[in-house]
Amino acid sequence: MSDRDSRHKASMQKLKTRVDEKVASATEQRGLLLINTGNGKGKTTAAWGTVTRALGYDYKVGVVQFIKGLWECGERNRLEDDANLQVAIMATGFTWDTQNREEDTRACQEVWQEAARMLSDPNVYLVVLDEITYMLKFGYLDIETVKQALENRPHEQTVIITGRNAHRDLVAMADTVTEMQEVRHAFNNGIQARRGIDY
């Protein structure tokens, strides 16, 4: 074995010990609260990736789309025939298009009822609250209501929250928080949003 190969083997053996220790110490089993936040691309996309993953094991999944419901959505197209997937859509369009706080609040409260139902259903393995952070930021939805629904949800249910500027109380509650940071974005360099890639 060459020197380089031996060094590689030794370093991988060390790494394996560390990995095994970590795996052994992770013993708790329950549903998780995940937050995908930050100003970068991938928050909603990663949530849909997880939806696809969970559906791959025949788990029941609920997705609540706050804000973006009017847009075409390739993931929804691809998966909507799946009997295990339910999607609730606010469908008002972006807040900068509606420009109407009162109506947006009403639409948000309505779709929240769907979310609340999913969050109390032990048959739903994964619930995605897509872009709910903006609902809290604009005051369309009360943080205490959301916290309570999350706290009281079934033990095995995982929830993914997406959106920029996640409320600090949600971050404090979460098991896993990922900050998607924009290092560079094509859109800012004059490249159009792309069908099948960006939406």
Q: Which of residues 138-167 bind a copy of itself (CB under 8 A)?
A: 138, 158
Neighbours of 127 (CB within 10 A): 27
Tokens 């053996």 sit at which residue?
13
179 is catalytic: no
Binding mask 20-49 for a copy of itself (x = CB under 8 A): --x--xxxxxxxx-x-x-x-xxxxxxxxxx
Whole-number minimum distance, CB 146 to a copy of itself, in Å? 19
Among positions 78, 106, 145, 152, the unique one binding a copy of itself when judged by CB under 8 A: 78
Whole-number minimum distance, CB 192 to a copy of itself, in Å? 5
Q: What is the DSSP secondary structure assignment for residue 193, as one 8-state letter?
A: P
Among positions 70, 91, 95, 164, the unique one binding a copy of itself when judged by CB under 8 A: 95
Site for a copy of itself in 167-186 (CB under 8 A): 171, 174-186
Tokens 């992770």 sit at which residue?
26
89 binds a copy of itself (CB under 8 A): no
Whole-number minimum distance, CB 170 to a copy of itself, in Å? 12
| Tokens linked to 124 | 């739903």
190 binds a copy of itself (CB under 8 A): yes
57 binds a copy of itself (CB under 8 A): yes
Site for a copy of itself in 104-143 (CB under 8 A): 125-126, 138
Question: Of 181, 196, 69, 198, which Cα lies nearest the Cα of 132?
Answer: 69
Whole-number minimum distance, CB 114 to a copy of itself, in Å? 21
126, 54 contact by CB (below 8 A)? yes
39 is catalytic: yes
Question: In angstroms, what is the C-alpha Rg of the chain?
Answer: 20
| Tokens linked to 40 | 């970068």
53 is catalytic: yes
What CA–CA distances, in Å, run from 57 to 22, 50, 63?
25, 11, 17
161, 155 contact by CB (below 8 A)? no
Helix (H) or strand (E) holding 157: none
| 52, 75, 76, 94: the active-site residue | 94
Q: Which residues carry out catalysis?
A: 39, 41, 43-45, 53, 94, 96, 131
